[in-house]
Amino acid sequence: MVGRSLESIRKAENAGKLPEQDKDERGRRLGYSLEQVNLMRDVFGTRPGRSAEDTPIIISVQNFKGGVGKSTVVTHLSQHLALKGYRTLVIDCDSQASTTTMFGLNPDLEVGDDETLQNFLEPGGENNLRYAVRRTYWDGIDLIPSNLGFYDTEYTIAAKAFREDFMMMDRLRIGVEDIAQDYDVVLLDPPPALGMISLSALRAANALIIPTPPSTVDFCSTAHFLEMLSDVLTMFNKAGLRREYQFIRVLATRTSEQHRADSQILTMMSAVFGAQMIEPRLKSSTEIRNAAARMMSVYELAAPITSREVNMRCRASLDQVNEAVELLVRKTWHSHQADLRRAGYL
């Protein structure tokens, strides 16, 4: 994880360059927390993030349908990136606040209406997003939480955008681009609806991942989403607000090898989307559901819930998807090109 041999780490520890590792009462080493690992990465200069010249990647994990796995992808992807040492910001733009909940907050009790995006997006509010950023218990992941009150902002923006100010839809982009300078990757979790917040997220992002389970309904929903996307981008272009995306990818989620219908639709999706599909699929797994019932991600489980085998299969699938996204991100950064070429990715 640190990118240095055990020997170099011990040497640095003995030389007092690294903080003492925690030990139990018998003097045995207790292992490292992510925070300690990140400290070591800082000492050795082995953080994998972008250079100051590279653009922070702002990924919106977006589809207009609920239950397709958006929040699941956002949560697990952010934790994967944080384990690797990327500085990550998660922005919950959904008033259902499931991502906020997954990060251990009770949106009704622990998130005030003035602590979500609302305060920035509504007229007369804050002029940047820093007030809303919280550290999470995951070192390297910050969160802008959401709560039910954020739903009102949908109407405030709509009313204002239609009556007087089309640029209201651009406000989130301005706030996010500003704060993104502090991070390697920003992940947006927009609401499952075709509204002002969704449009604002589309505008704020510079990369899109579109999760789609292999069902006819979800496939159709994704087709509509893409049509809409094309219309919206044309509309923005006409208004002189061109948006370039570093990548747009469809991610098959909740897939199951057992179902014949699933694999037929997957074949169709591959034929339609071709190279725009992320090759690994996020398999359907009871472990994800079981972990979610405890308000945890699969990466947070201290022990398997369903069974060891199911847990391992699920983690492998999550890792594959997350690594594919990590690679897409790294490919956009100039400072990573030489390493990627050496590793045969370019």
Instruction: By CB under 6 A, name the binding residues for ligand ADP.
Output: 66-72, 98, 192, 253-254, 282, 284-285, 288-289, 292
Of 228, 1, 188, 198, which Cα lies nearest the Cα of 77? 188
C-alpha distances out from residue 72 to 35, 101, 280, 315, 346, Å: 23, 12, 16, 13, 29
Nearest distance in Å: CB 342, ligand ADP: 33
Nearest distance in Å: CB 71, ligand ADP: 3
Of 106, 102, 133, 105, which Cα lies nearest the Cα of 117? 133
Nearest distance in Å: CB 221, Mg ion: 14
Q: Does 330 bind Mg ion (CB under 5 A)?
A: no
Nearest distance in Å: CB 139, ligand ADP: 23
Tell me whether residue 77 or residue 161 sits nearer to Mg ion (CB atom): 77
Tell me whether residue 140 or residue 213 sits nearer to ligand ADP (CB atom): 213
Q: What is the DSSP letter of 114?
A: G
Near Mg ion by CB under 5 A: residue from 50, 65, 70, 171: 70
Nearest distance in Å: CB 285, Mg ion: 17
C-alpha distances out from residue 151 to 33, 100, 156, 158, 204, Å: 37, 15, 9, 12, 18
Identify which range of 18-26, 46-54, 64-72, 321-329 contacts Mg ion by CB under 5 A: 64-72
- State the Cα–Cα distance between residues 36 and 139, nearest whole angstrom: 9
Q: Does 147 bind Mg ion (CB under 5 A)?
A: no
Tell me whether residue 168 or residue 318 sits nearer to ligand ADP (CB atom): 318
- Residue 254: name its binding partner from Mg ion, ligand ADP, none (Cβ under 5 to 8 Å by kind): ligand ADP
Helices (H), the chain: 6-14, 34-44, 70-84, 98-102, 107-110, 118-121, 151-163, 171-180, 196-204, 216-238, 260-273, 286-293, 308-331, 337-342
- State the Cα–Cα distance between residues 26 and 20, nearest whole angstrom: 15
For the chain, what percentages of helix, strand and coil (3-state, to nearest 5) are there? 50, 10, 35
Tell me whether residue 98 or residue 206 sits nearer to Mg ion (CB atom): 98
Tell me whether residue 38 or residue 147 sits nearer to ligand ADP (CB atom): 147
Tell me whether residue 38 or residue 200 sits nearer to Mg ion (CB atom): 200
One-character DSSP codes across 146-179 = --GGGHHHHHHHHHHHHHT-GGGGGHHHHHHHHH
Nearest distance in Å: CB 189, Mg ion: 6
Nearest distance in Å: CB 209, ligand ADP: 12
Nearest distance in Å: CB 148, ligand ADP: 15
Q: Does 198 bind Mg ion (CB under 5 A)?
A: no
Q: Does 71 bind Mg ion (CB under 5 A)?
A: yes
- Residue 304: name its binding partner from Mg ion, ligand ADP, none (Cβ under 5 to 8 Å by kind): none
Near Mg ion by CB under 5 A: residue from 75, 98, 153, 285: 98
Please give the single-letter amino acid code of residue 313: R
- State the Cα–Cα distance between residues 233 and 258, nearest whole angstrom: 38
Tell me whether residue 71 or residue 255 sits nearer to Mg ion (CB atom): 71
Question: What count of residues does the chain have?
Answer: 346
- State the Cα–Cα distance between residues 116 and 131, nearest whole angstrom: 9
Tell me whether residue 49 or residue 69 sits nearer to Mg ion (CB atom): 69
* Residues forming the site for Mg ion (CB under 5 A): 70-71, 98
